[in-house]
Amino acid sequence: MLNPFYKQMDIINMNKIFVLFTGLSLLSVWACDSQNISKEKLPIIGNRDVVDGDSIYHTVRDFKFINQDSVIITPETFKDKAYVVDYFFTSCPTICPKVKQQEIKVADHFKDEERLKFLSVSIDTKYDTIQRLKWYAEKLEIDPNQWHLVTGDEDLIYDIAGDFFHSAIKNDDAPGGYDHDGLLILVDKNRHIRAFCNGLEPEEVDEFILDVEQLLAQEY
Amino acid sequence: MLKVKVCFLFLLIACLSMQLMSCQENPFIQGEIMYENFCATCHMEDGKGLKGLIPPLANSDWLKNNQDILACSIRKGINDPIVVNGKTYELPMAGVTALTEFELANVINYINQAWGNDYGFVQINEVRDQLDACNARD
């Protein structure tokens, strides 16, 4: 039925289509790639005011904490660096271990990255003494050069929580005595919040890692 | 006609064996759900715990050797330091009080058989006896 000529035509057509397809897919890969390079910067999260025509972005206020090795931690500690912030307490009976597991995943990923640090703020100022924080850090094999577990003035800790978009509330009815969230927040060198994720959701945390990489690649 | 019958038979066998297989994979559905809701934030979904802070349940010699006090330990918590696979854990575990006897039995059977563990099975009446004993002690 089919004469050889038609067969020939068919093959030629197939070849053409094949070439076209490969070309198109290569093109789209290239388009994606170049999009990546010129990818938009991470947004600055939070309310902004306009004063005299200038945008004033949401900014983390000044702070002074003390870490597991009794070192004073201030914004100066994170000069020219980005850092990840979470709120927790060492005797937390609910979400903290899961969040810490995910945070450790992030910290391990950026193990040799000097431009990224970690700040875990304890909301239990009574029980989480420096000694207790030290114990906790050792149990979790936390690198003190990379990761600060801090305590400090109670009012500051609760007030500044809002700057970090964390909610921290004392609540005797809550398990362990505190209500708080499992967010991980990315703060940049200008004290702006640039990304966050729910530390209870491993996939969100994986995306967060990409956000951190992007920030470091584009702005540091 | 024969062909259709053979086909049907084949399908039936396939379905049945698939069901059996999923059965073998997880015979403790309720226990697993309880585990995810009440234990996994600390002991993690894979039962490995968290570094030196939270002990593993997967391949845990403590779990294997303390079956007789397991129901009480979960219900009342564990306050003293314990040694699991040669490592000392100090953080106390708060009692998980929300589980009924039935749910306790299910969660125990789940952790006893999950992640390659093979630490036997408990019946609901054994759980009840254990709880009665520790309630009497308190």
The ipTM value here is 0.72
Between A and B, how many residue pairs show a Cβ–Cβ distance under 8 A? Answer: 36
Which positions 161-180 of A are in contact with B (Cβ < 8 Å)?
175
Which residue shows structure tokens 């060492």?
A90
| Contact residues on chain B for A97, CB-CB shorter than 8 A | 41-42, 44, 50, 53-54
Could you tell me if A95 lies within 8 Å of chain B, comparing CB atoms?
A: yes
Name the residue among A93, A95, A140 with its Cβ closest to that of B52. Answer: A140
Q: What is the pTM of this model?
A: 0.80
From the list A98, A138, A139, the residue facing B41 with the nearest CB is A98
The residues facing B111 across adjacent strands are none
Residue of A nearest to B41 (CA): A98
| Interchain pair A140, B51: CB under 8 A | yes
pLDDT of residue B137: 81
Please answer yes or no on whether A140 and B50 come within 8 Å at the CB atom: yes
Q: Report yes or no: A98 at the B interface, CB cutoff 8 Å.
A: yes
Query: What is the chain B residue with the closest CA to A142?
Result: B51
Predicted confidence at residue A174, as pLDDT, reads 83
Question: pLDDT (tens digit, 9 = 90+) per residue, B78-114?
Answer: 999 999 999 999 999 999 999 999 999 999 999 999 9
Which residues in chain B come in under a pLDDT of 50? 23
Q: Report d(CA A34, CA B107) in Å as an integer.
A: 51
User: Quick one: which of B28, B133, B116 has its CA closest to B71?
Assistant: B133
Among B53, B84, B88, the residue to mutate for chain A (most A Cβ within 10 A): B53
Q: What averages of pLDDT result for each successive group of 10 residues across chain A (220 residues)?
A: 54 60 56 58 91 90 98 97 96 89 97 97 96 97 97 96 88 82 95 96 97 96
pLDDT score for A113: 97
CA-to-CA dists, residue B81 to B55, B92, B96, angstroms:
11, 7, 18
CA distance B51 to chain A (A): 6
Q: Please state the φ and ψ torsions of residue B94, each to the nearest 5 degrees.
A: -70, 145
Q: Is A204 helix (H, G, I), strand (E, B) or coil?
A: helix
